[in-house]
Every structure is written in structure tokens, then in C-alpha cells.
Amino acid sequence: MSTAPVIAAVDGSDDSLRALEWAFDAARRRAAPLRVVHVRQYAAWGQADVLIAGPPEAGGDPVLDDVHARLAGRGPQPVVEYVALEGVPGAVLPELGTDAQLLVFGSRGRGGFASLLLGSNSLAAARDAECPVVVVPRPGRQVHGDGPAEPGPRVVVGLHVDSPDETALGFAFAEAALRAARVQVIAAYPWPVQTWAAPAELMPPQIDQDAVENETRALAEGFLAPHRERHPEVRADAEALPGDAAGHLVSASKDAELLVVGRHRRRLLAPARMMGSVTQAVLLHAASPVVVVPPSEPDHASGPDAAQPAR
């Protein structure tokens, strides 16, 4: 049985070349082939997507020719395949996830408006692809916070203790094992808790914050136990933090190897694929590469996921 490839989407932009480097390293770590894909948007508006797959003809695709030249002559490297496609990138690229380990994008490509922080193709793939999607940001993103408490490689993952995303946790541990990194688990809980005594009248919270924090941490430790058993070589630290999950995750992304978040499952009354507000926030603002992991359950599964703040 052949190993599924790591796919890098390239368009010649600096953003996509950074994604290529990340994908090259990921394929090498996984002993997987690297597939470099360039989608040429030649289809007319309203025309059905036309896919032309295979190695480009000599001189037929300058973008892939440039990538080939960049990768040639390197030391030990994965098997590299070059694929030229024609169609609308936002529709074509997510479909590639059906037979891939990872889809890797830059935060922006050549299309769209220069003011956008996240390209439409990256967003479409993160929302729709069937495999995990990695978005590599531009260097120099500034985030608030003091950074990690200790040096060393980290993989950060968000955890909602009311409905944990086991697929995202599993990905974080597996990635940390590949990188000899520790896992930093961010379990945010809402605070302050406000209750209404009468219309327009707020009562102070009657809940002990220490108790909420301790319970959140205890639940997180329970969810981490099976992953620690599968990866005894990976150290995992759970942090229970009050307030905004997105803010905590973005802060933790400083100097991190990777930030892992889950994608919403389809809900019964909202059959379209969705990404939560936290996932969108970290894609826009995290300083490290972000991977959006699709749920393992069938897309038609229902549940309370639309309200999960750790995604």
C-alpha cells in the first residue's frame, strides 16, 4: 500500500515557497512523498473545473520549473512529484485532500487583495479538505504575551473539555513525536461568569474560580491520558486558563513549532462545513504555522460543536 503524500500548493509567491519548505520538511519527517501542485486558473467563470494532472511539459509551467530548480541537489529528500492542474484553485485544491496526509498552503498567494490576512484558497481548503490543512504564516507576526516559559520545541493544541476533539489531540501528539517536541495543551474556560438577577441587572459570580480552574485541568488531564499512553516519549503539559481561547492560543503560538486546532463537524440543521471563530482567529493571527484538523466522525453527525470556544 503506497504512502499518502504531503501536498504543497504553490503559485510562485513568497508565501507559497515558505509553505513548500514546510511541506518538504514534513514529508521528510514522515518518509512520505511530496507532491507539488500548481493550479493554473485558466477556466472561464461559470465553467466547470477542468483538471489536467501529470508532470508539466518541459518549460510548460514556470512555477513548477522554479520549484524543481529550488529542490534539485539537496541532500536526503523525499520523492517529489510535480503536478499541474487547471481550474479554480479554491474548488480544486480542497479536493486534493482525499488522498493526502497534509495539504500545505502559504497564508496568502498571488490572487486576491493585498490587504487580506488570509488567502481565500487557504481558507477554502482549511474549511473543506478531508485531510489536515497547514497554513504557514508570513514571518514576523507580532503576538501579545511573554512567550514560552521554557525553551525547546512545542506543539500547541486547543482543548475544549466539554467536548474534546480527539482527532486534533491525536495529531498534536503524533506531530510532537516526529519533532521531539512537547505538547502544550490550552484548555480555556469562560471567566468571569455573569448571572442575571433581573433585566439589565448583573449579579457578581457565585462560582469559585479556583474550583473551575482545577476542574478544567483535571478534565484535561483525563482526556490526555490515552494519548500519553500511545506516545510515552512525548511530554504534555495542560494549562487551564480563564477567558478568551483564541487569545491564549495566539499568545502560545509565539516560537511554537505548530498550533493545532480542530474544525467543526457538520450539524444536522447546518449541513455546510464550518470553521469556528477561534479557528479563524488563529489562522489570521498566530505566529506559528497552524494546522486545521477535520473531525474523524462522519460529516452528518450532530452535536454541540458550534459552541466550542477551543476551535
Which CATH number belongs to the domain containing residue 161 in this structure?
Answer: 3.40.50.12370
Which CATH number belongs to the domain containing residue 130 in this structure?
Answer: 3.40.50.620
pLDDT of 208 > 50? The answer is yes
| Per-residue pLDDT reduced to its tens digit, 38-59 | 998 754 444 434 444 444 444 4
Q: Which pLDDT does position 4 carry in this prediction?
A: 96
| Residue 258: band (very low, low, confident or very high) from pLDDT cuts 50, 70, 90 | very high
Same domain, 163 and 131: no
| Per-residue pLDDT reduced to its tens digit, 278-295 | 898 899 999 999 999 998
In the chain, the number of structural domains is 2
Q: How far apart are the two ends of the chain, measured CA to CA in Å?
A: 33
Same domain, 35 and 103: yes
Name which residue leads in pLDDT, 112 or 83.
83
Q: Is residue 143 part of a domain?
A: no
Same domain, 229 and 270: yes
Q: Which pLDDT does position 120 carry in this prediction?
A: 78
| Residue 170: band (very low, low, confident or very high) from pLDDT cuts 50, 70, 90 | very high
Q: Is residue 146 part of a domain?
A: no
Mean pLDDT of the chain: 82
Same domain, 283 and 161: yes
pLDDT of 26 > 50? The answer is yes
Same domain, 163 and 255: yes
Which domain range does residue 29 map to? 6-136
- Give DSSP secondary structure letters for the chain: -PPPPEEEE--SSHHHHHHHHHHHHHHHHHT--EEEEEEE--SPTTSPP----SPPPTTS-HHHHHHHHHHTT-SS---EEEEEEES-HHHHHHHGGGG-SEEEEES--SSS-TT-SS-HHHHHHHHH-SS-EEEEPPTT---SS---SS-S-EEEEE--TTS--HHHHHHHHHHHHHHT-EEEEEEEE--S--EEEETTEEEPP-S-HHHHHHHHHHHHHHHHHHHHHH-TT--EEEEEEES-HHHHHHHHTTT-SEEEEE-PPPBTTB-S----HHHHHHHHH-SS-EEEEPPSS-TT---SGGG-TT-
Q: Is residue 145 part of a domain?
A: no
